[in-house]
Structure 1
Amino acid sequence: MPLSDEMIDRLLASLTAEWDVNNQDVDLTRRLASAWEDRFGQKRDEESLDGAYYYYHHLNKLLAESDSLVARKVIILQKQKIELRIKSIEDWLAQGGALHAEAQAYRTELQELKMELAVLFSKPMPPGPPAKLFLDLSADRDSPPSSGSASFSAN
């Protein structure tokens, strides 16, 4: 039985507190990444995807990129981040953003993201089970996400 949103958020808060003390612990980082991924599976929001990407990326670095399944997960999440950002921009443009003074900048970003996604899809994946691809965004994060709520801003 899957955990509720509230249970996942409590788990994230607890694991994050532990991780803040010891962010080099591979097992703890793996559990935290998995919890963020579970949260994304339920909420399908940018914050949860960023969290899953951040902690899997950190785990990949801790493992010196030696685990092909973790490396594969990082690539899948990166693709999902780009896809989510593309969808956000397309939705914003369709809902009147096309008339916004900054619309051309968003169209340019959209084209760049689509090219980035095409490049990622053209690269071979590390070995592993077939991937489920659903959504993605763009830029890497320099710090871990909070376990609070997020809102979209079309910047």
Structure 2
Amino acid sequence: MKDSKDDAWVANIEGEFLVTCQDETQTSKGEKGWVLDSAASIHVCNDKDCFVELKENKNYGNIVVGNNKKVKIEGVDSVHLKLHNGVVKKLRHVRYVPSCSHNLVSLSELASHGYTYIGQRDGCEVYKDDVLILQGKRNEKMLL
């Protein structure tokens, strides 16, 4: 349960989608991709090196992770993602949370900006104005 307006939910990633990233977007913590999370309310990145822009000069609140633990948001701004088709796009409003175990792309946050997504047994596709923007496929535990 959220405790205040400064808290955001980040859910367990079991069974969610993952966008695989190329070498330049691999994080220094060894992450190979970004989870496309239908339960997360915000985008989250755990690696400061992934940010092309990062504001860290104020209190950004907390997130509540899957085990109901509160974790501090250390900053917010933009990261570059290399997509399934090789195109690099800027993902904005990403929260820097170094203690988060995975990098998350919030499908609900994308939907609030006019994107639509279709999740199926073997993958997920994200569209903007009927144009495919993001694509993920399932691995053993989640969709890549």
Q: How high is the TM-score relative to the length of structure 2?
A: 0.30
The structure whose residues are more often helix, as a share, is: 1
Q: How high is the TM-score relative to the length of structure 1?
A: 0.28
